[in-house]
Chain A
Amino acid sequence: MTFAAFRGEMYKIVRRPAVWVSIGTLLLLAALIGYALLWFVFTHPPAGSEQGLPPGARLSDAKVALYPANLVRETLSMWGDLGGVFALILGVLVQGSEFGWGTVKTLYTQRSGRLAMLAGKMGSLAVMVLVMVLALFAVDAAGSLVVATIDGKSTTFPAIGVIARGIGACYLIFGFWALLGVCLSTLFRQSAMAIGLGLAYGLVVERLIFGLLAILGGTTIPSIQQWFPITNTTYLVQSFGSNGGVRVGTTATAAVPFADATHATAVLILYVAVFALVTAWLSRTRDVTA
């Protein structure tokens, strides 16, 4: 019955234009901003734009980040957070819309139990997030190849193992964001609140709180901070190293670098599990009155 629920959810999700618009927008931004715009700015720097760079450094040095050898680092540092926003939207689309349309009652009166229906939904979301991540890496790979070819640089990609780890890390980060969207949608039984609060927390609240608390100094605050999700997505991105030259275009904050990738992975998996469990508990126990 869970497989029937999964099949049904896949049938729904692939037919939904909003899902493809979200993924398509991310890919378009990746190509346009991540490669075309950066390459143009680095190649043709505006007058005075190199003021303030370290002595001897030039803006064009940053182009090294765009070449295939830096595919994983560039993709994660550029889209680890911003791409997560699109994953959040995907999660909200999948779950929050059911409340808006009143289709929750339709789903729960078919055949499978509530948890089986939720498992089917989570399965379909996992597939679409994977599609999103793979497509993002494919677009970035193509972009880096084009840039390197134009500049006559090496077109050698990182080892396949590194790419696989990068895809895995990106999948975990996007999965965290998507599950955050699902969980908030279920909690508030609507989409707008879920997207609003999800974005506010993911992009502002956690950074703001720990940014202010950092003024206090000491080790207590960082030791607390290392258990918060956005901090750990940053850790995970940073575990792939930083690109040489001038850092441009990243939204990653300067997280305190005392946690390694294993810690970050474990914490993010824990959050994903907690979101899934909370969603399951809410779905199973709540009355459907709308």
Chain B
Amino acid sequence: MSIVAIPLGVPAARLAMDGSNIPGDRVVQTRGLTKHYGQIVAVDGLDLNVYRGEVYGFLGPNGAGKTTTLRMLLGLIKPTSGTATVVGSAPGTPASLIRTGAIVETPAFYPYMTGYDNLRLLAIFCGVPIERVAATLDEVELTPRAKHKFSTYSMGMKQRLGIAAALLKEPELLILDEPTNGLDPQGMADVRNLIISLGKGHRTVLISSHLLSEVEQMCTRIGVIRKGKLVAEGTIEELRGATALTVRATPAEGARRVLEAEIGADNVKVVDEGTFSLRVDLKRAAAINRRLVESGIEVNDLHANERSLEDIFIELTGEVGGL
């Protein structure tokens, strides 16, 4: 069975996946997950699958329901209806929590304690060996400030302590809600690389972000949520869909006739006078060019047209994504 990309703009349908595209068993699975706040539907019948070993990007505009979904997966918010399984257990249960590390929005710690003491506290709560504290602080390069109070930390340092806290349990699943918030460009790059490295192997990362370029670099698969509904899900390549070929040629009418004869009228879209968008395999570009030239058509331009993730995001959500 081959991969079927979800048609853009069509309500999400499950991807048919072959074995090579299923990284492992489902680490996160929701079925009809719904959350109402009075008349407001924050999350609407969400069916989400996150597989072991993948870095799953959860995209959506502000207020789309991303954080509410992540909070439901952590047991912080109870769903109005629907079910969810997180690393094999119900969200918020000890069995699920001990195998999940998380940052939800801004990391929250005790301001009167040092970074080290805050992590040590979490180690006590989780039954993690104390030695893990220093190692984790080292991993996020916070050791030099470990003995300083949390209240003195910059936003970036707080974020790094949050990541350290999420890693403390050596969890199978990391749920990261906007993990690069407040970081400077270097910090963002560091966290991005860290997440990419964490996503290798059997660890699963579920990450929500507004930063499309970031998601593009980090994630193996993406889900796009809009008004509480999952509107698309797949790899970036799948979401981009078929790549188009743009041709600019004269005379326009002659060029149209040649192109329609070559690849079929359904696959030729007239963009404007003499410019065509072709839905065709890029491997055929040279043959199409030759055919036009042999027919006496002057080819002024011929190039592949890839849609960016931002184009896809705007198309799916009707909003401009973060930069």
Contacts and interface: CB of A to CB of B under 8 A. Distances in A.
Interface residues on B, range: 20 to 34
A114 B97 CA distance: 11
Nearest to A113: B94
Interface in A90-145: 101-114, 117
Contacts of B93: 113
A105 B108 contact: yes
Contacts of B111: 101
B248 interface: no
Given A16-B112, A101-B111, A109-B102, A287 B124 contact: no
Contacts of A11: 117, 120-121, 124
Interface stretch (B69-77, B250-258, B287-295, B303-311): B69-77
Given A12-B121, A101-B110, A111 B98 contact: yes
Nearest to A285: B78
B127 A111 contact: yes
A113 B89 CA distance: 13
Contact of B124 (A8, A18, A108, A114): A8
B126 A106 contact: no
A15 interface: yes
Among B113, B120, B127, B165, find the residue whose CB has the most chain A CB atoms closer than 10 A. B127
A289 interface: yes
B219 to A, nearest CB: 22
A249 B74 CA distance: 53
Contacts of A1: 94
B108 A15 contact: no
Contacts of B74: 105, 108-109
A64 to B, nearest CB: 44
A108 B75 contact: yes
A8 B125 contact: yes
Interface in B172-204: none
Contacts of B112: 15-18
Instruction: Please indicate which of the listed interface residues A4, A105, A106 has the most CB atoms of chain B within 10 Å of its own CB.
Output: A106
A53 interface: no
Given A12-B113, A288-B76, A4 B124 contact: yes
Contacts of A58: none
Nearest to A116: B94
Majority DSSP secondary structure for residues of B touching A: loop
Interface string B96-107: 011010101011
A29 to B, nearest CB: 24
A105 B177 CA distance: 13
B98 A287 contact: no
A111 B76 contact: no
A12 B122 CA distance: 10
Given A12-B110, A16-B112, A17-B112, A110 B122 contact: yes
B109 A106 contact: yes
Given A15-B117, A102-B106, A289-B71, A111 B77 contact: no
Contacts of A195: none
Interface in B159-173: 165, 169
Ranked nearest first, the 10 interchain pairs of A and B with the lowest CB-CB distance are A102-B108, A288-B76, A110-B125, A8-B124, A287-B77, A8-B125, A111-B126, A103-B108, A111-B98, A106-B108
Given A11-B124, A12-B121, A289-B76, 19 more contacts: A4-B124, A4-B127, A5-B125, A8-B124, A11-B120, A16-B112, A101-B108, A101-B109, A104-B108, A105-B104, A105-B108, A109-B76, A109-B97, A110-B97, A111-B169, A113-B93, A287-B71, A288-B76, A288-B77
9 contacts: A7-B124, A8-B125, A12-B113, A101-B110, A105-B74, A106-B109, A110-B122, A287-B71, A289-B77
